[in-house]
Amino acid sequence: MAPTIEPVQTSRDFPASTTVVIIGGGIIGLTAALALSERGIPVVVLEKGRIAGEQSSRNLGWIRKTSRHREDVPLALASDRLWAGMAERVGSDVGYRQSGIMFLAKTDEQLAMHEAWLKSVESLSLDSKLLSAREIDSRVPGGKGEWAGGIFTASDGRAEPSLASSAIAKAAMAKGAVIVENCAVRTVSRSGGKVSGVVTERGEIRCDQALLTGGMWSRRFLGNIGVSLPTLPLILSVFKTAPMEGPTEIAVGGPDFSFRKHKDGGYIITQRGALDAPLLLDHLLVGSRYLGVLRSQRHLLRISLGKHFLRDLALPRRWRAGKSSPFERVRTMDPPVNAGLNDEAQRNLAAAWPVFEQATVESSWAGMIDITPDSNPVIGAVPGVPGLSIASGFSGHGFGTSPAAGQLAADLVAGSEPIIDPTPYRFERF
Ligand SMILES: Cc1cc2nc3c(=O)[nH]c(=O)nc-3n(C[C@H](O)[C@H](O)[C@H](O)COP(=O)(O)OP(=O)(O)OC[C@H]3O[C@@H](n4cnc5c(N)ncnc54)[C@H](O)[C@@H]3O)c2cc1C
């Protein structure tokens, strides 16, 4: 089950035409809709299930620059500025707090990786700094772990996934955006080679441009029109504790656990050192592009061949606009929780900060992440399909950058000055 989000009353109308159709109502599609509607551009968001029902409600809520690729940091810095003004912009709290993020290193090798990252972003003047074991103890008291050191960025933070997408959706609607739930987009329609509409399960909507923000489904959507977006899925299991006395407001990532405080005083916890990697046909099709990442990250992956493979195989890869699509078959991707990984996280965390021995698990869930070969998203025009743009492939860190990512997508669609240089995100890099 996904964590519940603030309810939003979306539209019952089904418009015949608009200027921009956004395919997918996660936080990226919703922030793009907000940015477009603020400029007076008519926009319709179509969501196959419920808004933020997939990754955007299931994520940890971390907003970080720490450990991002150098070329991805400008997007994160622009997002920090937008998060800071978000509550005022949308007229309600989104849970944003600049409470800092800390990553811990158990070994000298892990610490050397943090040092190398810090060196790689030297010229960007971030406030990230290395910490000694003693400094870790003083910032996060009560610990028993033995750390080689850590890295801390005070200007990193968190927001609440249970609030953010709903607040952004409501603000976009107040500015004129139309959001329709339970409406899968099957494909785009074209005239004269250019996108002229989208075909949905409820009929066609004519539009000048379409923006695909379908998260892990964007690969399948594009595959049906002959475009290969190289993304692969990973599954992360998460649990939340009941409100408790915790050690810090800082979000802390250890090698084999992470925790951050929830607005209700509970903690959101995960096994940071392990992700489920279900093997799919896509691994055969695009897996070779990931060999570089695999070499350095293999130890994080729990690879399996099982139910996911068969379920995925049963979903069509090609379909006609007049026929039901995979998006109607799977309204919400709700992968099973790996209880074993959650148990590991709880044990590892309690060994490091014994206060967590008292934690009561309140709920748990899992989410499927869309990973690209270089872990950066794709934002911009889809090659060979004039009128279609994309913002997808956020590789497990798109909640934090969503305000600027959605705005960048909106800038590119509207043909206005982009909020940051979009070059690192071009589809053509693959
Ligand atoms: C467990 C977990 C923890 C994470 N932790 C963090 C974190 O701490 N910090 C961070 O920055 N990021 C984190 N992330 C990543 C972050 O959640 C995502 O990068 C971000 O939410 C991506 O948003 P999105 O809008 O692209 O995708 P999604 O939220 O997945 O939204 C895509 C939407 O498109 C809809 N859709 C797809 N195809 C169609 C179609 N054809 N027609 C209609 N609708 C369609 C889907 O139903 C879905 O609702 C985490 C992710 C997970 C799963």
Instruction: Please give the number of the atom of ligand 1 that sits closest to the Cα of 46.
Output: 43
Stated pTM of the model: 0.98
Residue 159 Cα to ligand 1 middle (Å) = 15
Structural domains of the chain, ranges and CATH numbers in brackets: 20-429 (3.50.50.60)
pLDDT value of position 299: 85
pLDDT one-digit tens code per residue, 261-278: 999 999 999 999 999 999
Q: Is the pLDDT of residue 359 over 80?
A: yes
DSSP state of 17: B
Max Cα–Cα distance, the chain, nearest Å? 66
Integer angstrom CA distances of residue 368 from 334, 406, 417: 8, 20, 33
Q: Is the CB of 238 under 6 A from ligand 1?
A: yes
Local confidence band at 426 (pLDDT 50, 70, 90 cut-offs): very high
pLDDT one-digit tens code per residue, 153-166: 999 999 999 999 99
Provide the β-strand partners of residue 130: 151
pLDDT value of position 224: 98
Across the beta sheet with 378-381, the strand order is 178-180, 43-46, 20-23, 209-212, 388-392, 378-381
> Rounded distance, CA 175 to CA 173, Å?
5
Residues with Cβ within 8 Å of residue 231, at least 6 apart in sequence: 216, 218, 219, 286, 370, 371, 372, 392, 393
Residue 26 Cα to ligand 1 middle (Å) = 6
Residue 194 Cα to ligand 1 middle (Å) = 27
Q: Quick one: tokens of 215?
A: 């998260």
For ligand 1, atom 15: residue with the closest CA: 396
Helix (H) or strand (E) holding 197: strand 194-200
- Say which residue, 293 or 372, is predicted with more confidence: 372
pLDDT value of position 297: 82
Query: Minimal CA–CA distance to 424: which of 389, 374, 388?
Result: 374
Q: Is the pLDDT of residue 123 over 90?
A: yes
Q: How many percent of the chain have pLDDT more than 70?
A: 100
pLDDT value of position 26: 98
- Say which residue, 300 or 320, is predicted with more confidence: 320
Average pLDDT over residues 203-208: 98
- Ligand 1 pocket, mutate which of 64, 168, 395, 399 (most atoms under 8 A from CB): 399
Query: Minimal CA–CA distance to 184: which of 54, 318, 324?
Result: 324
- Return the amino acid letter for 383: P
Average pLDDT over residues 124-151: 97
Integer angstrom CA distances of residue 295 from 62, 343, 369: 26, 27, 20
Rounded to the nearest integer, the mean pLDDT of the chain is 96
Q: Is the pLDDT of residue 230 over 90?
A: yes
DSSP state of 87: H
Average pLDDT over residues 28-39: 98
Q: Is the pLDDT of residue 1 over 80?
A: no
Instruction: Please give the number of the atom of ligand 1 that sits closest to the Cα of 366.
Output: 1
Average pLDDT over residues 212-217: 98
For ligand 1, atom 13: residue with the closest CA: 397
pLDDT one-digit tens code per residue, 139-149: 999 999 999 99
Q: Is the pLDDT of residue 403 over 80?
A: yes
> Rounded distance, CA 367 to CA 427, Å?
25
